[in-house]
Structure formats: structure tokens, C-alpha cells
Structure 1
Amino acid sequence: MQHLTYPGLRGAVVLENAQGVLEALDDLMVGWAPDAVAMSFADNAADLPDHVSRVRGRNARFDLHSPWLSTPLKGLMAASAACGVVADISQAFCNQHRGCLGLHCGAVQINGHLIVLTGPARAGKSTLIARLTAEPDMTVFCDDILPVLEDGLAFGLGLAPRLRLPLPDSVTDDFRAHVAAHMGPADRRYGYLCGPNIAPHGTRAAVGAFIVLARGTDIPAQLHRMEPTEAVQHLVRQNISAPGEGTEHFDQVTGMVEGVLCLKLAYSDLEEAVALLRRAFATDQLARLGAPVAPPLPAEIAAVVRPPADLAQGYKRSPHVAVRAVQDDLFLWHATEYSYFHLNPVARAIWSLLEEPISGQDIADLLAEVFTDATPAQIAADVANLLGAFEGKSLIVPAD
């Protein structure tokens, strides 16, 4: 059994019969220097109350025990188990540093400017960040979690970006070759892209711009103005840190956005988006963007929206989803998709009903008995939209 402790992080990562996971962590964690201590085996996770994450191997598969998961995730491949450990390390880092915001986003440094990229599910954030690892003069800070410390500086955790596999047919041969040359730990659906331009653990930088991605069809790559208030709304929703007292985190995000460039990037073609970002941030001064900025996006392409679910369909929870608790907030976390979904009270009720296979219409009918102030049609529409969002993040699957 390996007991790994990392500088600046309280608690340990415990690996039992998990050499494959240890090797994956070594490959994808850049600039970390853990101390490894061999230990005798313990009977259960409760024997190590101060652990950040714990993995047990059995028959070339791995079970992940986490302080933030309601139940262990079982039968994972090495790369997926390493993904779970990385999620736990990221969460622990954000929770253990006073005043730290943990933003669910990507970030890249271009010409000295740290650009934060976020957006709705399937907006292409992870693929775009992975593509930017092929740009040798850019530095990739993250593709998923960006801690912003109390002093306002972003902190690179030194974690390789994770790319969905297989690659889309539309990517260029050059990018495909880059992926093949730098592919690290991988499973059937995802692989870590261990490129040469990942910011090592501990790299700090001031945020220069927030960009919300809006991927559509047949849209020329274009930057659009975005009001700071809208940027605040996006970033508050993307915060995975333990909630602060009162409006602490809201005030932190508002302070970050003040004086920072806020934009939306509408695009269809990956290479066009990369070229536009390069042109836009080629200048040393953000006040003089190297690309024109258009008016705000029309509503119909302002976001990528998942179609509503079919209420006649039966649904059940995906087997690789667990509930992550962050103080009083609950998130659904998908182990292989590496995605979060914040549960508000209504979403919690629907998730509870999905403990057994159930149709969308049955969910709507049950909620209509509770929420008598809303019309059945409105409840049905809300349920369809939420189930569609769950489907979009692979949190539920059709029931047999």
C-alpha cells in the first residue's frame, strides 16, 4: 500500500494494489513532488480519516473511496481511477486554502495574458484546451479546475488536460499527430494529453480575460462583447469551492471580474477558434485586442442548449455517478465524464426519484402533487429540461 503526501496539501492519497494508478498520476501531474511511504493494509477507509482519496485495486480494476462521494465508485480502469484522485486533490486544495475559489473552467496563457475559458456542457472547452497544448508559445493552466487564491492570482495545479476519445473526424492531421505523440494515461473514452506546455504545479498569474464559449453550426469564429454581470453569473455557477460566509464568494467573483475583459467566443471550427484567440491576444495590452469585437450574441446562439428529454422515456441513474458533498451543497459527479452538476432543491428531488427506473412523465406527475402553485404543463417542461441536462452530462441513461 502506498501512502502519498503532497507539499501544501493536508491528508494523503492512499493506493492499495494500484500500481497502474500510481503510474498514471506520475504521468499526468506536472511539477508535483509527493512523498511516498509504504504502509501495511487497513481493513476499510475509516481507518484513514485524514485521507484525500483512496484507491483499491482488484483484478486490474480499481475502486475509488472519496470523502466527497456518498458511495465508492467501483470497477474503474486505471485512467478513470486516476481521474477520480485528481478530482479529490483539486477539491481538497480549494477547500484547504482560505479564500480560494475553485472555478470549473479551462485557462491558457497567451502572450502573458491568462485567459479563462468556460461555458455550458458540450461547448468544446476541453477539446479547445487540448488543441492549445499544440501551441508551443502558449501555456495551458488547466482544462477543468482553476484555483484562484485569496490574493486574486490564479494557481496552476499542474494537471494534464483530459480529451474525449475518439477524436472528431473534423480535427486536422497535425492535431491528430500531436495527440498521438503526447497521449498519456487513457481508457476507452478519455485520455490525458501530456503536452510540453502545461504550467507546472504552483505557477501563478493574474486573470486577464473571461471568455464564455458558444459553439454552434456554421458560425464564423467571432468574439462578442459580454456584460460583466453575465460573466459573474457564469463564474458563480462554476465555483466548486466550499461556500464561504454570506456573500463571500459572490463578492470575490465580482471583484475578479471588475476591470477584466469579458467576452463570448462563438465558433464552429476548432482551428478558426484557435487562430482567432492567437490574433486577439497577440498585443501586449488587452485594451488593444488584435481582433475586432462584435456586439453581444443573438439569443438563439448565445448558448449551447441540450434538447429536452422525452417524458415518455424511462430513465435510470448512470452507474458511474456519485453525489459529491461540499459542505451544504450537493453535486453530481460522473467518474468517467469528469463532469459536475449542482443540485438545487428541485434537482435533488428528481435525483431522489431516479433511485429506481422511472419515466419522465411519472416524475412530472409526482412533482405536480407537491408543487400545486405551478401548472402541470410548466412542471412537465421543467422536468424535461432538467432530464435533458442530466442526459447531456451522461448522468442518466435510458432504462431497459
Structure 2
Amino acid sequence: MKTVLVAAALLALGLTAAHAEVQGPVRVGVLTDMSGPYSDQVGAGSVMAARLAAEDFAAEARGVQVEIVAADHQNKPDVGSAIARRWVDQEGVSAIVDLPNSGVGLAVSNIMRERNRVSLNSSTMSSDLTGPACAPTTVQWVNDTWSQGNAIARGLVRQGDDSWFFLTVDYALGHTLERDTGAMVRQSGGTVAGSVRFPLGSTDFGAHLLRAQSSRAKVVALAMTGTDLINTIKQAGEFGLTRGGRQQLAALFMLITDVHTLGLRTTQGMLLASPFYWDLDERTRAWSRRWSERMGGRMPTMDQAGVYSATLAYLRAVRDAGTVEGEAVVARMRAAPIDDPLFGTVTIRPDGRAVHAMHVFRVKKPEESRGPWDLYERVETIPAEQAFRPLAEGGCPLVQAVR
């Protein structure tokens, strides 16, 4: 009889939660880089992606109202942290999305955990976010440094490019990109000849490129993104680093905006990894054209697509859970696989990692392109179960607790 009463009580609680109503508007904050080295990759395009998610959610909201707010964290963890605290403590923001710059993303994730609100790290790359720094209120969407290193390193080492030298931006993103990719190179049978680090926003890479050149490594791995990546690739061409096939550049975190800025003559043949490309299938094309119409004809990056998908999944979970309490909402997001229009089937693991397929693309030659944004050809799809670090290997305390 006691078992029956307990089961009935739990059922009643479940029904109550399912029918609870969220009080007031659900405020989602897009915390992004609006003016710095990553502004083309995220910035205004991420804000637009969140607004599209809110628009699409409105048709199924069942009375839940949504407001999107935005701010520029200036790539400074202290600035990002101050904005996050003000949003949550004073302005009723219940989730923060985007969060490019791993230092900012890690700091904000911790703040949201303390306040039991949700951190949707769709543009934070550090794999530590679902490792030692994992939290029950954090979901890491799109990709991370482990998935990027896995996709690029294993293919290049397999084809004989087995000695690597790293040029690394000196903060959390670069450090974990170098660490995770270097580990994959060694695991695949290759070697790491050395590395050099530089500050975010550097403009002169001459001395660093000379060190890479003198290493005679077959691959010069660029553990960076944004304007740092663009400037490094331009200067590598001026130094003749890849002339005659002597060395190959491996861009560990290159986005479509970087390729578009540099042009196909400079980037042709380069490999890159991404779970999203605007021209991947009918659903990605349809959404990307909607976004593009409001963004002056540009096409979205994987990070901007991730803002849309993470925001929409969050809003649906809030509606279904009947609360904005962080742990309850993330538990609802984990409850079943998500059929996402941009990333396919997405499953959220106990460590907060959103798992889906990854793709390896090769940048087209100029004569192969049919238009200004027809830039990639797909060469490999890595299934979800192989695309991300195994759950048991990340060191997430939440996973240890489950065991």
C-alpha cells in the first residue's frame, strides 16, 4: 500500500509540474562579442538567431512569453560576469546563450550554476565545460575543442601528416585546442614538435611563423579563430609557409565567415570541421535563407545556428517543465532526443554535452564554387557516438556521481 501511495504522490507531482505556468516573460540573454575579433562569427547574427527562435516558439508557446536581450562581453571574463549577475539578479534573465570566448563562458557557467539558471554555451569551445567544470545547469551546444581536434587530427595523421607544430592563442580556447588536438595526434601515432603562444588580438605573426617553419613539422596547427586566424593565414601565405607542399596549415576552428573573408584562392583545399553548414540539406537551407534575408545576404556560422537551436530547445523545456529553475529545465532537455532542424538528432548527456553528428569539409577551389557562399564540400560525416569525447573520459563530477 505504501508503494502505491508513493507512486501516486510522484504522479501527482509530475502532473502538477507539467501543468504549471511560468510567471511573467522568459528572458533569454545573448551574451556575445559585438565589436571584437569574433563579432562576424557571432555578434549581431547570434542576436538575430535567438530572435528567430523566439518567433518560431511563439506558435507553440502555450502562453509562455519570451523576451530576448543582448550585450557585448568585450571578451573580458570580468565584464561578462558582471553582465550575467546583473541580468539574473536584477533583470530576471533565466538563461544566457552564445558565450564565445572560453574564459567568459566558463565564468558565466559558474554564475548560472550558483543561481540555478541555465547557461547555454553554444559558442564556448573549451572541452573543460563538460569535463572538470561541468554543471547541472549548463548545456554545451555545437562543438568543443575535443570534437574539433578529433575530426581534423585523425584524418591528417591517417594520410601521413604526422608531425605537428602549434600556433596557439594564449587563453582558454587556445590552450584546450592545443591540448585536445595534440593528444589526438599522439594517439593516432603522430608527434608534436613544439608550440608558440600569442595574445588575443595580435597582428604580427612573423616571428611565430618563422619558428613553425624552422620546426619542419608537416602540419602547422592554428589553435585560434576569428581575426587572429585570418591574419595568421594571410601572413603564412606571405612567408611562403605552404609553398611547394613543404608544410600544411590545419585550421582547428575555422568558420564560414573566415573562409569568406580570406577567399577561396587562399583557403582552397583546407580541411575544417563543423556540425552545421547552411547548404547541408533542405532544412538547413530553409532556415539559413530566413536568417540571411535579415542579415544582408550573409550566411550563418555554426555558432549562430547553435544559438537558434539551443534557445528553441530551452524555451520548449521551460514550457514543458513549467519553471525556469535551471536544474529542472536542463533535466527536461535531457529527457529525450531532440529532432533539431539544423543539427539533426541531438542528445544531451549527463555532463551537459549536446551530442550530434560532426562533418569534415574541404574548402572548394574557386572554379568549383557556384556563388559567394558556396564554399564547402563534405568529405566525411562522423557519427554522434564518435564525434565527441567519451562520457567516462571527461572527468565531469556529475558523471562520477551517477556512477
Q: TM-score range by the shorter chain?
A: under 0.3
Higher relative contact order (CA 8 A, sep 6+): 2
Q: Normalising by the residue count of structure 1, what TM-score does the alignment of the two structures yield?
A: 0.28
Query: As a proportion of its length, which structure holds more helix?
Result: 2
Q: Normalising by the residue count of structure 2, what TM-score does the alignment of the two structures yield?
A: 0.27
Query: As a proportion of its length, which structure holds more strand?
Result: 1
